[in-house]
Structure 1
Amino acid sequence: MSDCCVTETIDIQVEPRVPGKIRTVALVGPPNSGKSTLFNRLTGLRQKVANYPGVTVEQHVGKLSGIGRSDLLLIDLPGIYSLESFSEDARVAVDVLRGRMPGTPEPDAVLLVLDSLHLRRQLMLAASILSLGLPTLILLNMSDLMETRGGEVDTLALAQELGAPVAKISASRGTGLDAITHFLDRKSEPDVPRNAGRLELPVMGNARSYRQWATGISTRTKYKAPLSSEWTRKLDRLLLHRIVGPLLFLAVVITVFQVVFSVGQPLSDGFGDFLNRAGDKVGVFLGHGWLESLVIDGVWKGVASVLVFLPQILLLFLFIGVLEDSGYLARAALIADRVMRSIGLNGKAFIPLLSAYACAVPAIMATRTIENKRDRFATILVAPFMTCSARLPIYLLMIAAFIPNKPIIGGLLGMRAAVMLSLYLLGFLAALATARLLKSSILKTSSAPFILELPQYRLPTLRSLGLRVFDRGKVFLKQAGTIILAVTLVLWVLSHVPFHSTLPDSVIGRVGHWIEPVIRPLGFNWKIGIGLLSSIVAREVIVGTLGTLYGADSTGLQVALHHDLTLGGAMALVVFFAFAMQCTSTLAIVRRETNSWKWPALQFAYMSVLAYVAALATNLLVTHLFL
């Protein structure tokens, strides 16, 4: 995981170029080469994030204040393997490097980051970059790991072969960065010429020529690839096994959900008690009347009913962070490629779909690395089926209210964890089935190869995990402090207008009763209907809405829902949320990524109909079984 950053305003001004003088530097490198970590270190963790005009690729720029060169601007280009790729990321990189990107200054120099652990393959990118003729410094990242694992390379010979300076660095440790300062200081002098070394480039666009060129340079520079550790080889033989690998992955997933409930539930209960006591103390100072009702019943209980699930959500993301930082999730992507191909998707779709478990918005943006447009659109359309963190509050609330915490499967798994796992599986299966439908009809296309660099196994650092959990907690709290707060305030007002009326006779009550005939077959009452309408803003808002309408905290809300809903209605509600597109932010990002309202409209209609039909079937089935 790359270091977190602090955004700030950075003015990007396109100034007249002075021949030989550096004002703007481009940072280029393959994915997972450590480029983002180096960017954050060079810019002092301060950067500006925006979008390039006319495209959906993000733009990261920052002043080189981390090495005392605040007069220079650093542009972090998308991670690419080649400038000849058809992906949008590669097209943006080419346009920026050649000065064809509107509003972005043409780079005067390039920092090319290569992973020294896989140098032979990554040298192929160097040919494309060096052909541009810009002053270039080649940075061999993770050189400390290469040397400790028996790898070596003659940097002087490599520099002579490439006609450009070469330096060994470690972006994570911050070592070797003085070479960047020396390069920029020297190249900033107007009388210093550009790269003038001997360089025979391969035939552009010919993959075989690139490989032969990279192999030849690796051989002449005495590059020795580091050996994987014995533990890595043993683990890969086990974790990548065609049968054992998927079974182990399933065991890991089951363990994660079991721990989230067995450990996270007591933490959430304790946090809920704290919020309730704090609310009671605040209520004492407000006295009795409309102000107490607004602050406590309208705001506090509504927001607290969502915040109570924060410990379980953070615990889930802690586990995801451990799996990702350890290098295991990349192996899971390799295993999942077999499943992806069976439904017509490229293996590259696994990473965006996996990140959708956090949030569909960045997941949809992550599909930009998929070169084939039809594959990319298919991935975008199915990503919202993956169970994002916004669905967790309603899942946890309904499961705690209706599912007993009994052990099953010989005590290895709790019933609540099993239900939660089944909901995640339900969304995943819906995504696969929808992808298969799309790829066999309107988005049919031929398959493409899946290329993935397997990272080394490593122990996750406390700093990395802490930043990840902090970031997710901050996003969740921001959501609770803005959207959920605003919705609960509006709902409180509408539930009290006209004044001195009962809740069913209020504005919100009349709206709920108006839509109740449509949702009654699903087992929902009018309050659930209001929750469904409010959750279109954001999925987790429904919990705050119900907390406001019932005027109850998390525990009281569970009791109230258990009284107002049958088991069939409760299960229908979580199934509805497993399928429905209840998120305007996701619809907006789909519109931006597809550059059309046609696809988000189709997506919303399809998921809504599927959610309604599935919820109806669930209510009828559960009611029939438990009558």
Structure 2
Amino acid sequence: MSDCCTTETIEILPEPKVPGKLRTVALIGPPNSGKSTLFNRLTGLRQKVANYPGVTVEQHVGKLSGIGRSDLYLIDLPGIYSLDSYSEDARVSVEVLTGRMPGTPQPDAILLVLDSLHLSRQLMLAAPILALKLPTMVLLNMSDLMEARGGEVDTLALAREIGVPVAKISAARGTGIDAITHFLNRKSEPAIPSPGAGGRLELPVVDNPRSYRQWATGISTRTKYKAPLSSEWTRKLDRVLLHRILGPILFLVVVIAVFQVVFSIGQPLSDGFGDILNNAGDAIGAHLGHGWLESLLIDGVWKGVASVLVFLPQILLLFLFIGVLEDSGYLARAALIADRMMRSIGLNGKAFIPLLSAYACAVPAIMATRTIENKRDRFATILVTPFMTCSARLPIYLLMIAAFIPNKPLLGDFFGMRAAVMLSLYLLGFLAALGTARLLKSSILKTSTAPFILELPQYRLPTLRSLGLRVFDRGKVFLKQAGTIILTVTLILWVLSHLPMHSDLPDSIIGRVGHLIEPIIRPLGFNWKIGIGLLSSVVAREVIVGTLGTLYGAEGAALQTALHHDLTLGGALALVVFFAFAMQCTSTLAIVKRETNSWKWPALQFAYMSALAYLAALATNQIVSHLVR
């Protein structure tokens, strides 16, 4: 999706250093420590996003207007466990904190966010941060949960031990934020404690993780830190959900249930939304009369875009369920379960998070691979990520399944044939990713596996606000695609399908192009209109539905009927199999080039995935056609 890569140029111009004056503040902490929630609260959601020069790590900068300090910039650094890591995130953090990042001044102060639920481990990051000798404040986030579950820590003792201010906060609830304001409002140099105040701070040996661990453990003991108990429900659920046998089975049941609900509830919603769009198009057309303007706006624009928009309810429903699974803490467990499978192909559980996020869009998923420290593991994950079924593939899947697959039950009312086909396509992409990863890791990207470290969050009930924002965001991205790329492509296709003037569609420019490539795709069971759809979908996968809507002059049920007339069952299944494997997205190719800093890898990726898609579609058409004779 092209909008995923959009960035804005940001530069904080350096000013002469004035003793005691703060201008930039760095926010840093381990992953899942609540750092992003705090950043949003402190900046009042008014922030900008860009990329650091020369790297692919995102830079989040915002003014501290959330606490009345619009004169200060807050720089949100990547979530990391250590500054000694070889990951790109850690290198960026070191360069920003030491003032070596071009275009970004060295911060005047640091806010270090630690998860108080796991303080003994997270204190390991404090040692290298304090060694930088910048004014620092340690924020113990989620302290309300820690105390509610019987945990405790002496913040005054901790502040004396490490020589910097310490405060308990809750970024989600907004409690304890006043301590940050008090810290930042201290203008004079002596008023801001520096590491080692009072002579009590003894930092461990630099670049020695074992030394960091011993230091953190010693401080935890001396400050009387008592780790909170996991909730009883968390312990009971993990005994079942993380079971070696029951865990994967239950995960499969959850996935099957999600797809069944998407069809059983989402299909009627999409049908009703399609009727609304169709009636709106008829009403608009009635006021335009008959002529080229009516044909352009209704047949070209409206039906092309509406043929994609009709799937919005099902797509949003799918992301609602994904949001529930993620916010509840279950998907982190799924990553742990997947680590066992990942190791069998040479990857580890860190690759699961990018692969999982690729179900939304491959672009941010590929950017998420920067947390993988081993370069060969990272490249292997980048190359297989586009196999995961992103939301852009859903429109063509839903269209073809609704047109060719009967809505018959397989396991009673719980699981139907359409849901089974959809699940099979998702599984097909996942297996292709695993198989390709295995091939890469046993040949050109061979390397040893690295340990997988993951903090399991507590189970919690998702909030309506969080789910609503997630669904709204996905809907906005989908509508933006329909309003830009799909609209542009459908307009171009309408023009090309009407030139030369007064010619029939097969004799138009677009018809001639389609007939030119038809011999190549005919063995797959495709006609020339499908060929034009394949060419247009290179821009973005979902464009093919708008293209077919424009070429057939139909949408919704009418488009399904037209396709059912022109395609056999073998050709229809071959089309969705082709899309399960093909690299039909220029934005993904562009981000692969940027992440690997070479055109060699995206070229190899495009050639491999296209060849695999063609051969798989050919085999599907031949096998199905033989079986249904």
State the TM bucket, normalised to the shorter chain. Answer: over 0.9
SS in 2 for 1:407: coil
Answer whether contact 2:163 2:193 (CA < 8 A) is retained.
no
SS in 2 for 1:312: helix
In the aligned structure 2, how far is the partner of 1:280 from the partner of 1:110? 60
Task: Give the AA of the match of 1:269.
Answer: D
Query: In structure 2, what is the equivalent of residue 392 of structure 1?
Result: 394
Compare 298-307 and 14-23 and name the one that shifted more. 14-23
CA drift at 1:206: 1.7
Query: In structure 2, what is the equivalent of residue 55 of structure 1?
Result: 55
Does the alignment pair 1:479 with 2:477?
A: no
Describe the superposition over 1:181-237 as per-residue Cα deviations: whole angstroms up to 9, x where unpaired. Answer: 000011x22454651242101111222211111111001000000000111100000
Describe the superposition over 1:351-376 as per-residue Cα deviations: whole angstroms up to 9, x where unpaired. Answer: 00000000000000000000000000
Query: In structure 1, what is the equivalent of residue 588 of structure 2?
Result: 586
The match for 1:203 among 202, 205, 223 is 205
In the aligned structure 2, how far is the partner of 1:190 from the partner of 1:124? 27
Task: Give the AA of the match of 1:14.
Answer: P
Answer whether contact 1:20 1:189 (CA < 8 A) is retained.
yes
Query: In structure 2, what is the equivalent of residue 160 of structure 1?
Result: 160
Aligned runs of 1:310-321 on 2, under 5 Å?
A: 310-321=312-323
In the aligned structure 1, how far is the partner of 2:387 from the partner of 2:589? 13
In the aligned structure 2, how far is the partner of 1:219 from the partner of 1:401? 65
Q: Which runs of structure 1 show a deviation greater than 3 angstroms over 4 or more consecutive aligned residues? A: 6-11, 190-194
Task: Give the AA of the match of 2:424.
Answer: S
CA drift at 1:20: 2.9
Does the alignment pair 1:413 with 2:415?
A: yes
Does the alignment pair 1:378 with 2:380?
A: yes
In the aligned structure 2, how far is the partner of 1:213 from the partner of 1:35? 23
The match for 1:602 among 586, 604, 610 is 604
Query: In structure 2, what is the equivalent of residue 429 of structure 1?
Result: 431
Q: CA 1:522–1:7 in 2, change beyond 3 Å: closer, same or farther?
A: closer
In the aligned structure 2, how far is the partner of 1:159 from the partner of 1:591? 46
CA drift at 1:8: 8.6
The match for 1:505 among 504, 507, 522 is 507
* Backbone CA RMSD of aligned residues: 1.1
Answer whether contact 2:11 2:104 (CA < 8 A) is retained.
no
Task: Give the AA of the match of 2:530.
Answer: I
Instruction: Report the identity percentage.
Output: 86
Query: In structure 1, what is the equivalent of residue 3 of structure 2?
Result: none
Answer whether contact 1:152 1:224 (CA < 8 A) is retained.
yes
Q: CA 1:191–1:242 in 2, change beyond 3 Å: closer, same or farther?
A: closer
Query: In structure 2, what is the equivalent of residue 518 of structure 1?
Result: 520
SS in 1 for 2:13: coil
Query: In structure 2, what is the equivalent of residue 3 of structure 1?
Result: none
Answer whether contact 1:484 1:544 (CA < 8 A) is retained.
yes
Q: CA 1:11–1:437 in 2, change beyond 3 Å: closer, same or farther?
A: closer
Does the alignment pair 1:131 with 2:159?
A: no
SS in 1 for 2:459: coil
Query: In structure 1, what is the equivalent of residue 217 of structure 2?
Result: 215
CA drift at 1:503: 0.2
Describe the superposition over 1:59-115 as per-residue Cα deviations: whole angstroms up to 9, x where unpaired. Answer: 000100000000001000000101111100000000000000000011000000000
In the aligned structure 2, how far is the partner of 1:86 from the partner of 1:9? 26
Query: In structure 2, what is the equivalent of residue 350 of structure 1?
Result: 352
Compare 320-329 and 409-418 and name the one that shifted more. 409-418
In the aligned structure 1, how far is the partner of 2:468 from the partner of 2:459? 19
Query: In structure 2, what is the equivalent of residue 189 of structure 1?
Result: 188
CA drift at 1:44: 0.6
In the aligned structure 2, how far is the partner of 1:600 from the partner of 1:252? 34
In the aligned structure 2, how far is the partner of 1:106 from the partner of 1:194? 18
CA drift at 1:410: 3.6
Query: In structure 2, what is the equivalent of residue 81 of structure 1?
Result: 81
Answer whether contact 1:133 1:194 (CA < 8 A) is retained.
no
Answer whether contact 1:10 1:62 (CA < 8 A) is retained.
no
Answer whether contact 2:10 2:50 (CA < 8 A) is retained.
no
CA drift at 1:10: 6.2
The match for 2:333 among 321, 331, 334 is 331
Query: In structure 2, what is the equivalent of residue 296 of structure 1?
Result: 298
Answer whether contact 1:328 1:457 (CA < 8 A) is retained.
yes
Task: Give the AA of the match of 2:256.
Answer: I
Answer whether contact 1:378 1:438 (CA < 8 A) is retained.
yes
Query: In structure 2, what is the equivalent of residue 322 of structure 1?
Result: 324
Answer whether contact 1:115 1:141 (CA < 8 A) is retained.
yes
Does the alignment pair 1:95 with 2:95?
A: yes
In the aligned structure 1, how far is the partner of 2:559 from the partner of 2:144? 55
The match for 1:556 among 558, 576, 594 is 558
TM-score normalized by the length of structure 2 = 0.98
Aligned runs of 1:215-364 on 2, under 5 Å?
A: 215-364=217-366
Query: Number of residues paired by the alignment?
Result: 621
In the aligned structure 2, how far is the partner of 1:285 from the partner of 1:245? 58
Task: Give the AA of the match of 1:517.
Answer: P
* Structure 2, unaligned runs of 5 or more: 1-5
Q: CA 1:371–1:306 in 2, change beyond 3 Å: closer, same or farther?
A: same
